[in-house]
């Protein structure tokens, strides 16, 4: 892992502005800058890991997903949670995060 702060660490530190929709001592949720759905949020653990499969502690993994579900339910009844893992999986920011996507009329534009 690089020593320099990740983009999301800089957002957490308020060095880079973002729209924060949720924050506690361990997680932050922000609006995605380039939304791929009417609602597009990112749930980000403050403790840095590069990608989700680096998290090996079941409690930590569970808390991350439970936080994403909690934030999603604060904004939508139905939603999609997505994790891009590694460059080949479409990950561009190497600080673990879960995408919350929601708000399409009649369901997502694309099935997976
Ligand atoms: P990834 O492809 O790594 O799973 O997702 C990274 C996400 O971060 C992308 O959806 C991208 O639009 C979002 N993103 C990139 N830079 C910024 C930024 O400066 N602010 C916010 N709020 N989102 C960003």
Q: Which domain holds residue 38?
A: 7-102
pTM: 0.97
User: pLDDT tens across 27-74, in order?
Assistant: 999 999 999 999 999 999 999 999 999 999 999 999 999 999 999 999
DSSP state of 46: S
Active site residue 97: yes
Quote the ligand 1 centre to 57 CA distance (angstroms): 25
**Ligand 1 atom showing the smallest separation from residue 92 Cα:** 3
Q: Helices (DSSP H) in the chain: which residue ranges?
A: 7-12, 58-75
Domain count for the chain, please give it: 1
Largest CA distance in the chain: 44
The CATH number linked to 18 is 3.30.428.10
Which residue carries 């139905």 as its tokens?
78
Is there an atom of ligand 1 within 6 Å of 30 CB? yes
User: pLDDT tens across 84-96, in order?
Assistant: 999 999 999 999 9
Instruction: For residue 93, tell me if it sits in a domain.
Output: yes
Q: Which of 8, 33, 39 to mutate to test the pocket of ligand 1 (most atoms within 8 A of CB)?
A: 33
Instruction: For residue 74, tell me if it sits in a domain.
Output: yes
């Amino acid at each position: 892992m690089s020593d320099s702060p990740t983009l999301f660490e800089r957002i957490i530190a308020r060095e880079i502005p973002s729209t924060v929709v949720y924050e506690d001592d361990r997680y932050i949720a922000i609006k995605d800058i380039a939304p791929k759905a009417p609602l597009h949020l990112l749930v980000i653990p403050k403790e840095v890991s590069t990608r989700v499969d680096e998290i090996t502690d079941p409690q930590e993994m569970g808390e991350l997903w439970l936080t994403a579900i909690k934030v999603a339910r604060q904004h939508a009844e139905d939603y999609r949670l997505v994790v891009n893992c590694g460059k080949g999986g479409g990950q561009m920011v190497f600080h673990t995060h879960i995408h919350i996507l929601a708000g399409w009329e009649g369901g997502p534009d694309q099935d997976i």
